A = this chain, B = another copy of it.
Amino acid sequence: MGSSYGENIKLTIFGQSHSPAIGMTLEGIPAGHKIDMAALNAFLARRAPGNNELSTPRKEADEPEFLSGMRDDVTCGVPITAVIRNTNTHSSDYSELKVKPRPGHADYTAEIKYGGSQDFAGGGHFSGRLTAPMCIAGGIALQLLAREGIHVLSRIYSIGGIRDNGELNGDMSGKAFPVVDDAQGMLMKQLILDKKAEADSVGGVIECKVTGLPAGLGDPMFSGMENRIAQIVFGIPAVKGLEFGAGFDVANMAGSECNDDFCLRDGHIETVTNNCGGILGGITDGMPLIFRAAFKPTPSIGKEQRTVDLSTMEETVLRVHGRHDPCIVPRAVPVVEAAAALAVYDALLGRRKEVR
Give the nearest-CB partner of A161 in chain B: B252
B3, A307: Cβ atoms closer than 8 Å: no
Within the complex, the shortest CB–CB distance from A254 to chain B, in Å, comes to 5
Given contacts A1-B223, A117-B75, A203-B251, contact A23 B256 (CB under 8 A): no
CA distance A331 to B23 in the complex (A): 31
* 29 pairs, CB–CB < 8 Å, chain A vs chain B: A2-B220, A3-B78, A3-B79, A15-B79, A25-B25, A30-B355, A31-B114, A32-B114, A76-B118, A76-B124, A77-B117, A104-B259, A108-B215, A108-B262, A109-B280, A109-B281, A109-B285, A130-B221, A161-B252, A202-B254, A205-B248, A221-B235, A235-B282, A240-B276, A241-B241, A242-B242, A255-B300, A255-B303, A259-B297
Residues from 1 to 32 in A contacting B, C-beta threshold 8 Å: 1-5, 7-10, 12-16, 19-23, 25, 27-28, 30-32
A53 sits at the interface (CB 8 A)? no
CA distance A286 to B111 in the complex (A): 13
B251, A294: Cβ atoms closer than 8 Å: yes
A284, B109: Cβ atoms closer than 8 Å: yes
Within the complex, the shortest CB–CB distance from A220 to chain B, in Å, comes to 4
CA distance A288 to B200 in the complex (A): 26
